[in-house]
Structure 1
Amino acid sequence: MAAIASAAGVDRTTVHRRFASREALLSAVFQAKLDSAERVLDEARLTEAPVPVALHRYVEAIVPVSREWPVDTRRMMQQDPQARVRREEQSARLDTFIRRAIDEGCIRGDADPAWARAVLDQLVDTVAHKFHDMKPPQAADLVVETLLGGLGAES
């Protein structure tokens, strides 16, 4: 908690006053990340926009969220059932989008949807955390080109 307070530029007692424990603080951070991700999924229009457009919108908006809230969601999901349900719902929306991309021929029909989703997640994580200077629009360009070029339907 002391390190968190220092990084936030506040006194440790301020953090303790607001959050009863480290777990409560982490839960609040995780909920904020889930709120941001929910907005990104809504604004990407994953079910309505053409697949390449929706994918670009999603990546361009989720990269800043990932950079702003670089927390390990797996650990928190084990401790917070409500957060786990929200994260699973968000994940299902992306799974549905990947299946749509396959059904519409943007990703090869023989591609495993779970593999395509894992590739998308890793591409987003890579541009968000290993290429800090890359602006979100350029990151989205690169992810869309890599995902749809690498797993796209053969001409």
Structure 2
Amino acid sequence: MRADATRNVEAVLRAAARVFSADPLARISDVAIAAGVDKRTVYRRFDSREDLLLAVYRARLDRLSELIDVSFSGDLAVRDALLTFAEGGIRLSRDWPVDIRAVTDQEIQRRRAELDARMDDFLGRTGVIAPGLPPGWALRVLQTQLHTVAQEMPALEPGPAAALVIETFLHGVGA
């Protein structure tokens, strides 16, 4: 793919993430306007609104996979790995604000489950999670905190927000 075509696809996917997050019933023409391209450009790459939305979900999962690779590679201390993941996760959620939790596409569900398992495995190996918690609990708590700060507290910059999330995750909110 040509460099300008690659840039256009990236712009369309990022715009679609924002547009569909703000209006789940948005049309492809709305995405094209937000991306600064003609709607024919969008239709050359995506056959339908559903194809475009699935491509957005795949792109978000691709970025999450890259973030997991960087954060949990084993080269960082646990706290640093968690901070790296949290800051990157906040940025990712703000750049790609679509919610993939309710997606019914089997491929997307499989990939999300695979990435969740990688994150859960890391959390389980760190020794910072209390024993006896239900499977997946720590991961869901972390994901919920990241989602909340990313989407509901936009005034918090990613770095300080990540530090707040990890402090809360590791030590709670008690005095």
* Corresponding residue for residue 123 of structure 2: 98
Matched, 1:126 2:151: no
**CA offset at residue 75 of structure 1?**
4.0
CA contact 1:99–1:113 (8 Å) conserved in 2: no
Give the Å deviation of 1:126: 0.9
Q: Distance in 2 between matches of 1:35 and 1:114?
A: 21
CA distance in 1, matches of 2:137, 2:45: 41
**Unmatched 5+ stretches in structure 1:** none
Q: TM-score, normalised by structure 1?
A: 0.84
User: Corresponding residue for 2:77?
Assistant: 50
- Rounded Cα–Cα distance in structure 2 between residues aligned with 1:117 and 1:83: 18
Asked whether 1:34 is paired with 2:55, we answer: no
Equivalent residue letter for 2:160: Q
Structure 1 residue 143: deviation in Å?
0.6
1:137 aligns with 2:166: no
Q: TM-score if structure 2 supplies the norm length?
A: 0.75
Offset at 1:113?
4.3
In the other structure, the counterpart of 1:107 is: 129
102, 111, 115: which one aligns with 1:86: 111
User: Distance between the aligned counterparts of 1:118 and 1:61, measured in 2?
Assistant: 17
Match of 1:23 in 2: 50
User: By how many angstroms is 1:148 displaced?
Assistant: 0.2
Q: CA RMSD in A?
A: 1.9
1:139 positional shift? 1.3
Q: Aligned letter for 1:4?
A: V
